Structures are given as structure tokens and as C-alpha cells.
Chains A and B, each alone.
Chain A
Amino acid sequence: MSLIIGLGVVLVLAILYLIFRIGNLVELVKGKKDDVSSWNTANAYLLMLFMIVSLVSFVWYSVVHFDSYNLPVASEHGALTDYLFWITMAVTVVAFVIITIAMFWFTFKYRYQEGRKASFVSDDHRLEIIWTVIPAIVLALLIFSGLRAWNDITGPASKDAVVIELIGQQFLWTARYPGVKDSQLGKHNYKMIDASNEFGLDLSDKNTFDDFKSLELHLPKGKEVQLMIRAKDVLHSVFLPHFRVKMDAAPGMHTTFKFIPTKSTADMREETGNPNFNYEMACTEICGRGHFSMRFPVFVHDTVEDYEKWMASQEAWLKQNPEYLQRVPPALREAAMIKAGIPADSEAAIMASPVTVTAKFK
């Protein structure tokens, strides 16, 4: 089928070429005096045709495929930036259509005609001032509204915001939550990273004891979330398309982004009519061969209570890796065991306690 279409196109092109040749030969025989090609008028019509076809198809696909490029928005600031996007779209489409029509119309209307002379117009200061000032005013408005939104988005997060750390590495994401006991992320140091201690937790800081790891990003609906973002090896970038969130992850520095999710996963399933809908986070900075697969599932709870319930159900990292109790300074071990929820009679607890060990051997 496509072969036939291809052949057809080639044939049509060949025919056009032959007609063109014949036109040229006829011209030669007639001995035309002007150097303007006999195709000049045809070109003018073709340009007109091109403009009409382009503008119509531009409008057509923008309307018909609207849903395939317009992602539903699920955050507070996202609604604002989308609004700015569409304002800019309106302004630029108007400018685009006017200029395009003017340009193609002029090329058509003022196509070469024998005996007509082009008018000598080289300057018009009034006109030039008008079309400098109008774009300047429109842009000033766009800049002003854009910067107001930018300041709100990048401003400091509120004190009671939920803090979550996202860590990028080749080629997966991990999230670290501060834990329900102290709601504070503990310190970390890249030199302490090893196969199990993937966050590089500095266990001399008591805030690390109840931190827990998650392989899914859980968010509360309707509460401000502050993402603390870092990377272990190369640049990565956190991209939450539905929440209009994007921020690079770089080794050696912390970046942050704050936002308020406004639609839970359940809300979104209802809105899209897709019972399997799930939010997703992607990496959007080339980071190596596995970049394309560096995704992270996202789940938004219906209420803050649900979210807190989920938090409470998670095990502290230290509880999952109790052998690291030995790295906790002896003075803090008891506090660590309580915070991480490690039973005092567990093997790891006994191993980590030098006093009990010596007592046993005696």
C-alpha cells in the first residue's frame, strides 16, 4: 500500500518536472525578454496555498489532538503556570496569524507583474515606533505576570510543609522520609554511602534514627510538600509532569521545590476515567544508558490523615538494617533503638551493646 502511494508521489513529481521543462522550452522558443521565470505567478499561488493549508491544519490538529498534549494539572501553582502558558499562547497565536497572513498576502499581491514598478519605501519612523512600542508593552505585561508567579513558586516553603528527600542515582530514584517521631531529616555524608547505607546516613545525628526509605513517592493531597533533591553520581532531574514540577538533582548540592498537590490518585482516576491511572515521576536530564527507564511511581493520598497513617506504617531504615546500630555512638544507642523501634532483646541490639556482650562471655 505505502509502496503504491510512494510510486504515485514519484510519478506526480516526474510529471510536474516534465511540465516545468516544457514551460522552459516554450519560453526559450518564444524568446522572452524578461528574466523572470514563467513559474513566478505559479509560485505566488503555491505560497498562498501553502499558507492556507498550514494555518488550517495548525488549527485542526491543535483542536482535534488537544487531549494528547494537554496534561491534566494536579497542583496549585501548576494551574497558575498553565494559565500563563495559555495567555502567552493567545497573544503569540494572534501575532503569528496576523504576521503570517500579512506576509503571505504581500508576497501574493505584489508578485511580479510586467510593467509595474515597485514603490520606493525605505523608512517610516512613526510606523517603526508603533511596532516597537506595542510588542514592548505586551511583553512587559507577560514579564510582570510571569515574575510574580515565579516569585511565589520559588519563595520559601511554609514551616509545616511536609519534607521529603529525593535522591537520584544511575538509574533509580529513592525517597527518604523524615519519620513520624521527629519529622526531621537526619544528616548525611556521601563518604558514608555503602551497599546498604544508600543514603549515606550519618548515624551520629539522632534525627537519622527514624528516617525511612520508600521506593514510591507518597504525597498528601492539599498540604504543602517540600522536595529536597540531591544526586549521588551525575546530574538527574526530577520531573512530575502532572504537578508542573521540575528541578535538577546535582551531586554536591541540594535543590528544593515546593508545591501543593490538589488531586489525589483517586481523584485523577475519576477525572481521566482510567481506573489504572497512576502518577509518575521521570528523570529529565541525560544521565547515562538507563536514563530512559528512570521512573518513579507517585501516589497521592486523599487526606492528610491517610498520608500520616501510611507514614506510621513504614519501618525506619535503621530497623531494617539493625547491624548499623554499631555505628551509632554508644551514648545514643538506646535512643536510637526506641526511635527506630528495634526491640531490646533482638540479636542486633545485643550485638551492638558491648556491655552485654562482655557480661555474657564472663
Chain B
Amino acid sequence: MATLDIHPQTTTHHDDHGHDHEHHGNFWTNYVFSEDHKVIAKQFLITGMAWALIGGILSVLFRLQLGFPEANLSWLRPILGGWLTPEGKIDPEFYLALVTMHGTIMVFFVLTAGLSGTFSNFLIPLQIGARDMASGFMNMLSYWFFFASSVIMFTSLFISTGPASGGWVIYPPLSALPQAMQGSGLGMTLWLVAMALFIVSSLLGGINYITTVINLRTKGMSFTKLPLTIWAFFFTAIIGVLSFPVLFAAALLLIFDRSFGTSFYLSDIYIGGEALPNQGGSPILFQHLFWFLGHPEVYIVLLPALGITSEIIATNSRKPIFGYKAMVGSMLFIAILSFVVWAHHMFVTGMNPFLGSIFTLLTLIIAVPSAVKIFNYVTTLWKGNIRFTAAMLFSIGLVSFFLTGGITGIFLGNSAIDIQLHDTYFVVAIFTW
């Protein structure tokens, strides 16, 4: 994903710092429980980078096992201890735990909180000419909820039954029944608690970003002049605020099923030599709720990067972005469509095939605004005077990435082709992109 050198902005707004120092808070109010958007952005950045490192290490571990299935990994025993089998292979259940936690960490903690938390907080006030966020206090809470969530999720890596292991999509009944796998015990409980706090954090942040963009723009900064970066953050925040509560609901119902004997997702289960009393629930219901967030989440992750890229490419080509209105329009169109395509993750779950047709149609339509964005990036480069700064190189890389990832989506979005590709490494590859 694109990164951005944030130092130039810090220096241009040096006079802001002068103001801050007049308040003379102590260390705690200035750097820990700060309400200053720049400090909060840095807090998100540091925490997000720590998570990226952890998520990266987890992926190296399971890819070692995947890439070299015959290898003896006993040299990892000092780190993994009992999670290695006597033959030096990663324990199958821990392997699933690594995959699950890698997915959760990368999608939510790095690419949602780390990305939006850092750049929306840092850039929104600076780019729209506001003093700070609409509510500095909520902004601070947003970080600390994220921090609490991070602590709980991190702790779950070290418990004796292992962290959540049912995949980052935590499909029940696997995630609902502790007797189905170890990781569905305490590890899953901690996962759910951490995600609940995470969702609160991202709602607090999102509401703040939306309010700030709508109300605190400086004189003359009309919506039609808003930088594309801010447009992207704005759409991202709206998508997040509308879709995260649905995941919250799904998680809540799952907690009920796990702890209070309800049957929202469970029915006709025989496990561990015993027939469970639950009847009438549907595991598919969870998948609908999960992907109602899960698909928009793709754009929560992607849009900020696209927005930042728009401006980096324009600046370093020394040209205005080509087709500003088309860029905003296509982001709006993508944001709307992102809410009506979720079931393309469920073509082979036994869902009504007619629904599958509708979701194929809507999903493939997204390729049109995406193509428009790519053409506009390429045209912005045309007849420019291009400077290859680090940010520019990353942005060119992102456009190329977006092209590859978008194209594979045309395969997966087509239900007939998806029959073969669903749940395979084809999908893992597009997600990793």
C-alpha cells in the first residue's frame, strides 16, 4: 500500500505547534491522553506499525510451513514451544490460528485503524484548514478504545489454548463451539471482545471524520474543491460508520450463541458424541451479516490509499489530477455499490442461485468506476514532468497493484467461474493484494 512522507506537512504547519505550546500541558496530556489530532495520528501510526510487524511475523511463520512442508522447523522451538509437533512441524491447529490472526491483524488493525487512524487524523484538519477535529475528546477515545482492543487481541496470542483459529471470517458453528477446536474457547472470546472495542473505536473515529469534513472546512473550501484525499477519507468514514455496526450485531449474536444458549447460527449439530439442542438457526445468516461489513471493508482499506495516491501522482507529475469530478463520482459510485455486493463471497454456500445472479451483476459493475480511476491515473502521468520521489514510486506501484487486483475481481465476481476458484489460493492472492 502507499505510504506518505508526512514531514513536509508538519513543517508547513509549524505555526500550529506554536499555539499548542501556549497551553503548556504536562507530558500525559500532551503525548498520552492528547486531544491533538497530530499526536493521535502518530499514536495510530506507531500502534499500526507495531501490528504490521506482528502480522508480518505470523505470516512468515505459516508460510515457512506452507512453502517447505517437509522441512524440520525445530529451530523455532524457543519461540513456538509446544505449538511444534515432535517432528518439527507447526501444529495444525496453531497453523490455523496463525492464519486467522494474520488476517484479522492485517485487515482490521493495520489497514483499517492503522491507515485511516493515521492519515485521516493527520490530514483531514490540515487539508481542509481546520484547527483540529470536531471533537478532540472523541478522537482521543477512539485511539484508546483501539489501544484496549489491541492489548486484548495481543494477549490472546499467548493463552494456552491459542488465539481464535476459525479463520478471520470466524464462521460459526466452528467459532461458536469450543468443542469444535481449541481456539474457539477463550481465544475466540477474547477475539470477540477485542473486535467489539475495535468497532467502537472505528465508529468514534468515523463520526469525527465525517463531522469535521462537513462542518469545519475553511472559507472557500467548498466540496467541489475538496482534495481527493479528503474525499476518499470522507467516503471511507461513511462506509465504516454504516457497515461496522452490522459486524457488531453479528458478533453480539455470536456471543449469545456461545454463552447464553441461543440458536441464531446453530441448528442440527452433532458434535463430540452428543446432539446439541439448538435448532432453527442458520450459519448462512452469520455469513450475510459478516460480509455486509466484509465487502465494504475492502473499500475501507482501499479508498484512503487511492485518495492519497491521487494527490501524490498529481503533485509529482506537476499536473492537476485528470478528471477530478469523475474521480469523486467513481468513488461515490464504488461506495454505494460496495453495500450491495456482499454475497459474492457466498456463491457456493447454497444461497438461492437467483440471488447469486443479482450479486454477480452488481459486483461486475464495480469494475467500471474502477477502470475509470485507473485510466485517470494513467492520463495524469501523460505529458507531466515526473519526479520519482519515494511516495511517487509507491503510488505508481499502487496503481499497478490496483489494476492486477481489480482484474482478478472480474474472475471471482462471476459466479460461474467462482465455483472453481472459491476458497482457493486465487482468493487468498486477491486478498493479500
Contacts of B266 in A (CB 8 A): 251-252
Interface-central residue, A88, A256, A290, by most chain B CB under 10 Å: A88
- Encode contact with A along B278-298: 1 for CB under 8 Å, 0 otherwise: 011111100000000000000
Stretch at the interface among B25-33, B192-200, B313-321: B313-321
A interface residue numbers (CB < 8 A to B): 36-37, 39-40, 43-44, 47, 78, 80-82, 84-85, 88-89, 91-92, 95-96, 99-100, 102-103, 106-107, 110-113, 116-124, 127-128, 131-132, 135-136, 139, 142-143, 146-147, 149-151, 153-155, 169-170, 190-191, 193, 195, 200, 229, 232-235, 237, 239, 241, 244-248, 250-256, 284-292
Asked if A110 and B420 sit within 8 Å, CB to CB, the answer is no
CA–CA, A136 and B361, complex, Å: 12
- List B305-362 residues whose CB lies under 8 Å from chain A: 317-326, 348-350, 353, 356-357, 360-361
Residue of A nearest to B182 (CB): A289
Contacts of A289 in B (CB 8 A): 91-93, 96, 181-182
Known: A85-B417, A154-B353. A288 touches B385 (CB 8 A): no
Contact of B403 among A84, A99, A195, A292 (CB under 8 A): A99
Confirm or deny: B1 has a beta carbon within 8 angstroms of a beta carbon on chain A.
no
Asked if B386 and A110 sit within 8 Å, CB to CB, the answer is yes
Known: A43-B393, A253-B284, A288-B181. A103 touches B419 (CB 8 A): no
Contact of A128 among B281, B323, B357, B389 (CB under 8 A): B323
CA–CA, A119 and B319, complex, Å: 7
Contact of B350 among A117, A127, A255 (CB under 8 A): A255
B334 → chain A closest CB, angstroms: 14
Contacts of B368 in A (CB 8 A): 132, 135-136, 139
Asked if A146 and B360 sit within 8 Å, CB to CB, the answer is yes
- Encode contact with A along B141-169: 1 for CB under 8 Å, 0 otherwise: 00000000000000000000000001100
Contacts of A193 in B (CB 8 A): 270, 275
Asked if B180 and A234 sit within 8 Å, CB to CB, the answer is yes
Confirm or deny: B423 has a beta carbon within 8 angstroms of a beta carbon on chain A.
yes
Asked if A131 and B414 sit within 8 Å, CB to CB, the answer is no
Contacts of B325 in A (CB 8 A): 123
Total number of residue pairs linking A and B with CB closer than 8 Å: 264
Asked if B348 and A248 sit within 8 Å, CB to CB, the answer is yes
Contact of A107 among B321, B356, B386, B415 (CB under 8 A): B386
How extensive is the interface on chain B, given as a class? Answer: 35 or more
Asked if B174 and A84 sit within 8 Å, CB to CB, the answer is no
- List B242-274 residues whose CB lies under 8 Å from chain A: 266-271, 273
Contacts of B284 in A (CB 8 A): 250, 253
Q: Can you name 14 extra interface pairs (CB under 8 A) apart from A119-B384, A146-B416? A: A111-B386, A111-B388, A139-B365, A147-B361, A149-B416, A150-B356, A150-B416, A233-B271, A234-B173, A237-B348, A246-B419, A248-B348, A253-B267, A288-B174
Contacts of A241 in B (CB 8 A): 420
- Encode contact with A along B404-427: 1 for CB under 8 Å, 0 otherwise: 100100110011110110111000
Asked if B383 and A96 sit within 8 Å, CB to CB, the answer is no
Asked if B423 and A150 sit within 8 Å, CB to CB, the answer is no
Known: A110-B386, A118-B383, A232-B270. A246 touches B420 (CB 8 A): yes
B176 → chain A closest CB, angstroms: 9
CA–CA, A244 and B270, complex, Å: 30
- Interface pairs (16), CB distance under 8 Å: A40-B388, A44-B388, A81-B419, A84-B417, A85-B417, A106-B381, A111-B388, A119-B383, A143-B414, A150-B415, A193-B270, A193-B275, A235-B171, A250-B284, A285-B171, A290-B92
Known: A96-B407, A288-B174. A118 touches B419 (CB 8 A): no
Asked if A251 and B92 sit within 8 Å, CB to CB, the answer is no
Asked if B353 and A150 sit within 8 Å, CB to CB, the answer is yes
Known: A37-B388, A233-B270. A244 touches B419 (CB 8 A): yes
CA–CA, A292 and B96, complex, Å: 10
Contacts of A253 in B (CB 8 A): 267, 282-284, 350
Residue of B nearest to A146 (CB): B414
Confirm or deny: B375 has a beta carbon within 8 angstroms of a beta carbon on chain A.
yes
Residue of B nearest to A230 (CB): B268
Contacts of B174 in A (CB 8 A): 234-235, 286-288
Confirm or deny: B378 has a beta carbon within 8 angstroms of a beta carbon on chain A.
yes
CA–CA, A255 and B167, complex, Å: 22
Confirm or deny: B364 has a beta carbon within 8 angstroms of a beta carbon on chain A.
yes
Confirm or deny: B9 has a beta carbon within 8 angstroms of a beta carbon on chain A.
no
Contact of B384 among A99, A110, A142 (CB under 8 A): A110
Known: A100-B400, A250-B284, A252-B267. A118 touches B319 (CB 8 A): yes
Contacts of A107 in B (CB 8 A): 381, 386, 388, 396
Confirm or deny: B63 has a beta carbon within 8 angstroms of a beta carbon on chain A.
no
Residue of A nearest to B265 (CB): A252
Confirm or deny: B371 has a beta carbon within 8 angstroms of a beta carbon on chain A.
yes
Asked if A123 and B281 sit within 8 Å, CB to CB, the answer is no
Contacts of B10 in A (CB 8 A): none
Asked if B320 and A248 sit within 8 Å, CB to CB, the answer is no
B59 → chain A closest CB, angstroms: 16
Known: A103-B396, A246-B348, A286-B166. A291 touches B385 (CB 8 A): no
Asked if A131 and B372 sit within 8 Å, CB to CB, the answer is yes
Asked if B353 and A151 sit within 8 Å, CB to CB, the answer is yes
Known: A118-B384, A237-B348, A241-B420. A135 touches B367 (CB 8 A): yes
